[in-house]
Amino acid sequence: GLQTVGIFRVGSSKKRVQQLREEFDRGLDVFLDEHQSVHDVAALLKEFLRDMPDSLIPRELYTPFLSTAYMESPAQLATLQLLLFLLPPCHSDTLHRLLRFLGEVARHAESSRGPEGQEIPGNKMTVSNLATIFGPNILQKEKPGEKDAGAMNFEDSAAIILVLQRLIEHHQTLFTVSPEMQWDVLRRLFQTDPDVIDYLLRRK
């Protein structure tokens, strides 16, 4: 689907999406291949993220993440990285994979030429377009179905898009712990809790 124009933006079949969702919810083995509509699968992914009981970025971190939207670049990235470190492991792992995937989708936004000079159409989904679509599904102030869950002021909406753009653009750096920070953490642990270092080294 990377060459599918308007992936995540073009409408899908509600009936087919509901059927796919029910199959996943029943724990069936669902095979997604060329016979499936790319737009149906894309819509299902958005639904999954939107309807998670606890959003991918936990709601208690909604305001801290939004506060980074208009920071200067170096400070913004440093703050985002520290906030990402606060995510539970399953949220962090899933968000990392999702951002990496969205970065891959964005790399196919523009049309290109194949090895034999044939035109390969771009999907038109830039980082900005993807952030606009996925931002409200990942950064949620209220649970779906709660009062005011659908209401969002313009400032929050713009900030969510900016934050998600940065997360997509810099996901590789943001999810990499620098050797300096690793060393600093180990040094502090050595002073306060050397048993933890022993445990970590054994795990590795």
In order along its 204 residues, the chain shows pLDDT tens digits of: 899 999 999 999 899 999 999 999 999 998 888 778 999 999 999 999 999 999 999 999 999 999 999 999 899 999 999 999 999 999 999 999 999 999 999 999 999 888 888 888 899 999 999 999 999 999 999 876 665 555 567 889 999 999 999 999 999 999 998 888 888 888 888 888 888 888 877 875
CA distance 162 to 32: 32
pLDDT recorded at residue 80 = 97
pTM of the shown model: 0.84
pLDDT recorded at residue 117 = 87
CB distance 126 to 106 below 8 Å: yes
pLDDT recorded at residue 103 = 97
| Numbered ranges of CATH 1.10.555.10 in the chain | 57-178
Q: Which residue has the tokens 């440093």?
A: 78
**Residue 191, Cβ neighbours under 10 Å: how many?**
8
CB distance 130 to 107 below 8 Å: no
pLDDT recorded at residue 204 = 59
pLDDT recorded at residue 47 = 95
pLDDT recorded at residue 145 = 64
Q: How far is CA 82 from CA 75, 77, 86, 90, in A?
A: 11, 9, 7, 17
Which of 157, 180, 193, 201 has the alpha carbon at shortest distance from 69?
157
CA distance 198 to 204: 10
Architecture of domain 57-178: Orthogonal Bundle (1.10)
